[in-house]
Chain A
Amino acid sequence: MNKEPENYCISCMQRIPQGTEECCPFCGFRKSSYAPDEGLLAPDTLFESRYHVGAAYLTDGTFTSYAAFDKIMKRRVVLRVFNGGEPGYEHFKSRGRFLDTYKKLAEMGMVSFTVVYTCKSCEEGAYAVCEYVSDITLSHEISELGRLDFEGAKSLLLPVIVTLKLMHDERLVHGCVCAEAVRKKDKTMVLCDASGSAGNKFAADDVREFLRMFVAVMYGSAVPVPTEFIAGAFSARNELSLPQEALDCIAAAFESGREITADIVLRRLYHCGDIALGIKKEPVRPPESIISYAVSEGVKVKGLLTSLT
């Protein structure tokens, strides 16, 4: 690795003219405002003699994501460098999982997941190079679009759910399935993050975030709502939580071996969200009393639609 003589904005990775290094003329990012933590790749590093490294924007226990520029393909990319801690058995195991995850993702080529260009072993352990996707998140889109109706929410998020389902089938989990983690690509929404799962279950927190994402799309801005209940409060009104039914529905959809249930899940969620926010009344079966009364009176009821219970 060596330092790159060319000038790039370390945030948007656009080439910038000499003398504008401090403040990017395209995105306005101030280079002096960025101070990478110890152990991270320094800005302007040329990684693997190919990737011009920019600012790190996400780091967790497994990998760090950097904005980067692919000098060969001449495109902006996201560089994920594995940082699995001290060398040893655990490091080796999680490095293998990291590589397996990105290899699977590259092979699967899912519509609602950012394209994985490559993943390789390297001196640092391993890295993956993914498609650069805009900074526009679902959260931003929600604030722009406002509340979506069912069809709108479905067309926006159904591919994401299907992708999650496919990932889950491959024992891959998404770290944080929330409106802030889903990004806009052309006119669709894509997931950008994944990791291997030891089990085949979404963690409770993931389920909660997943639900919140849908409720946010259908009920307005994705303002983070303090979670006051174990089940989570998903309402922007901060006083209602989704019924247990919704949680059960999600859990059942992703833990069962049934056919794609995404459509059903979303429809169900939408409905549960409506009920949770008090917009819709829980549907009820036609009251048996009326039906049986009609039978006793010898009247054939051809149809009954009612709010009576």
Chain B
Amino acid sequence: MTQPVSPPRDDTPKLSPQAEPGSWRTVAARADVRTLSLLGVLAALILIGGITKPEEFLDTRNLQLVLTQASVIGVVTVGMTFVITSGGIDLSVGAIVALASVWATTVATQEYGFAGVLFTAVLVGVGCGLVNGMLIAYGAMVPFIATLAMLASARGLALQITDGKTQIVSIEGILELGERDSYVLGVPPLVMVFAVVTIIGWLVLNRTTFGRRTVAVGGNAEAARLAGIDVRRQRLYLYLLSGLCCGIAAFLLIVLSGSGQNTNGNLYELDAIAAAIIGGTLLSGGRGTITGSVLGVLIFTTITNIFALNNLQSDVQQIAKGAIIVAAVLVQRRTASTT
């Protein structure tokens, strides 16, 4: 015997409660809130620095120093932001910076002058990125493992090249770039490179098909594949891009330190990941913000500077960094859950 238990329903189509027009505005506003809150943190830090060490902190030279220090890790973070947005991770950035910086400063390379050093640094970075990308995209390796392997090998190779010695750079043109005489309107050339990389990175992520595909692959790789996107090729390009950024950062580091060392770029991977995450890039992929990443880098560099000026040891710095990462992620989760 059949007993129909549910009465037929009225056939009015139901709309989900959030589907009112205009709700996208709150999303846009929330993105702005995130950027604003990062700017707020940065402003608060500047205030703290200005109050605790008014003369030293607000000195032009100190601000130039902070920005210069932010440049190296900042360039790495731009590349990292792309990789994380695509749902990947690159643990090898610090090791690639080290390898590129020592390979580009060997006696043999230095014979080729400025261009030789720059070219080698970039080429080594891209080469490592190519290996990462091939392993991940076509070798179906998990990014964590592939780049962990690269981390170990590149560090080892860097040590082998230098034998643990610091390789002094003797090329005038490179050393001059780090000197005050080459500042343009008070802006160090390194900072200009950082600014250019940031602007290009922002444009590529937000205004090009490459950026769109990156977000799509990170948001839903299966959907991207079924929509006709070549997911593997995109992944290859992303690790190439990260390697390229590492090569550029290695060159900046060579200019900054006037040398190449196998210990360069130590723990850059953690700094870059942390900066991207507190900036608002989703570790699970599908959403990335270059603006946020750069603000994250500036926040971390400013903290380091303030602590150094106040003669606080690096252990305290590390603890503060950890606390900031936790706080930032908790705040983000709260904003996300109110969606």
| Same assembly | no
Residues of B within 8 A of A (CB): none
